[in-house]
Structure 1
Amino acid sequence: MAPAISSTTAQSTHSLDIVNFVVNQGNGVKGLSDMGLETLPEQYIQPPTERTTSYSVVPEESIPVIDMSNLGDPKVADSICDAAEKWGFFQVINHGVPIEALENVKDAAHGFFSLPPEDKKKYSKEHSPTTNMRFGTSFSPRAEKSLEWKDYLSLFYVSDDEANAYWPSVCKNQALEYMRASEVLIKRLLKALTRRLNVENIDEDKELLFMGSKRINLNYYPICPNPELTVGVGRHSDVSTLTILLQDDIGGLYVRKLDDDSWVHVPPISGSLVINVGDALQIMSNGRYKSIEHRVVANGSKNRISVPIFVNPRPGDIIGPLPELLRNGEKPIYKQVLYSDYVRHFFKKAHDGKLTVDFAKI
């Protein structure tokens, strides 16, 4: 049960140690939201430059939507590659992942975040039975000057045996089902994308380089007082090869356009999945495919769920521009880096847009 706070629980957090309540006691921002706060705690107030009111949004534009029902058509593969080059983001429909698997994992995410704080706390960094699983809040609370209005459960997949032994029973089977069901889609996307990079066949070694590890997150964005003063997730690009994102029907994901400083909303489309290029693929494509800044706004009226699968190199892999690109004299713009070093650099700081990729630049 959440601890008793004070007689002003529903109105104020002045008497509450926010970090202890949210982070250490496992209540998360859901615990704050459930208190019925009328004002945002100051720890979550973002600098004016990071608030939604500081961004120029283009309402009539959005990322490409690609129908994958006829992937044998070269035009479909071209549209995937073009979107990865020009936007770094696209949505796919008729992708082959069963709608039931998508609905099940969304329901399971709601189920996990509905658990009492003491049950969720069992999966926090300090209490989790494995380092591959973590319940947390914000992004990096100890590095951030302003916290983000989000809770999450992060599950790094090692094996079915470990998942069955340690992942929460309320969401374990559904998360595994979603990951397995997405496997064919991921391979099809990589096949299309790598052909434009002069990689004609993805052998076992290449497949492991592109998708040798996976992480699935269950993200929860509870109703927020003063959503205009904070963010659900701050500006960043992913460190993955590809990210496969399942949205619910509420929306709130925004993507930065490559050609200017404006942003576009990624509208929820029933049954669709959002695909985005991560830093690892930007580096391996020598900058041809772009990992793009994106962010999530907070919502003042509804609770939002999203479920991304991060498809990554293995921690011990060395990533750099693919040799197939450099054989014809193309100059590398990124060095060879140990993937685990790159990821460690990303997680030791607050979200800062695209600055992480500078770690790999020559």
Structure 2
Amino acid sequence: MAPATSILLPAWSAAVPRRASYVAVLTAVVVQLLAPGVAPWLLAPLLLIGLLVLGVAHGACDQFVVPATHPALVRSRFRYWASFLFGYLGLAALVGLLWWWQPAATVALFFGLTAWHWGSADASVFFANRGHWVAHSLLRGALLFAVPLGHWPEETRAIINGLLTLAGALPISAGAVQQASVVVVALVGIGHLVLWTSYFQQGRGVLARTDMLEVLLLTALLLVLSPLFSAGVYFIFWHSLQHVLRMNQLMGRPADSRQLLLRIELGFFLRRSAPLLLVSTTGLAILYGIAWSQAAPSSVFVSLALVVASVVTLPHALLVTLGMDAARWR
């Protein structure tokens, strides 16, 4: 069965919007290579602004997913909002309890769920084969963690241990990171070769070449920039941007195959995400204000951001996988 373009990426957004992400990633790589001493000063303010305008905002329209993809479930607005808030906040609270009860397992769950969510949500519209979509989703998500794990082991371990320390769990050793990186990098590399071979065998040469290009771009980003910067560039200018454009179509933004005005698209999205975005930014400001008043080190601020992200990742990822990607499972 062909995928429903109203639920998946519309045809027009398979090219121009992805090129915008390509340009952002390539620009970050070139800036880092040409001016490594200046790059952090240029990228840091852009990432901070992008984190608010795209990163935090991209999940602030989750309440529109079910009405657009499963309208039969929204017969009563009051019941829908009560169910949405109860389910969304309930899942977020569950993750919060897991951080308190099983912090080490929660770290693994967070990174695993994030890998699946990033890989599956960023898949191209051209996937008509469910097996290819699942394989691509797993491999793309794993790639985003495998390269930093193998190329930046100490920096990656510091991020993981910062989370574990904040949650009161024991840190992981350098040996454990090295062993994990060898296995994950090998699986990701072999898996991509098998997947691309399958594409060519089934006459999907365009899809294979597109995936190769994206893997090359993302690998360059993950190799050249440190884990925090590369994750920030990817999350904001690739994952969040693509999700915003996809949500705009879901919320009724007319598609124009001739041009894509990111300023207009972003304005359309921000007007609809404003209520939840205001709540989210207020909560983050209060949380960071408390940490600032306690003179917390910079590593604590990074760990706090990841913990907050993990709390909302579960309900957000479920809405995308079971709602926006429902047609991919058929």
Under a length normalisation based on structure 2, what TM-score does the superposition of the two structures give? 0.31
Which structure would you say has the larger RCO, counting Cα contacts within 8 Å and 6 or more residues apart?
Answer: 2
Q: More strand by proportion, 1 or 2?
A: 1
Q: Which has the higher helix share?
A: 2
TM score, norm. by length of structure 1: 0.29
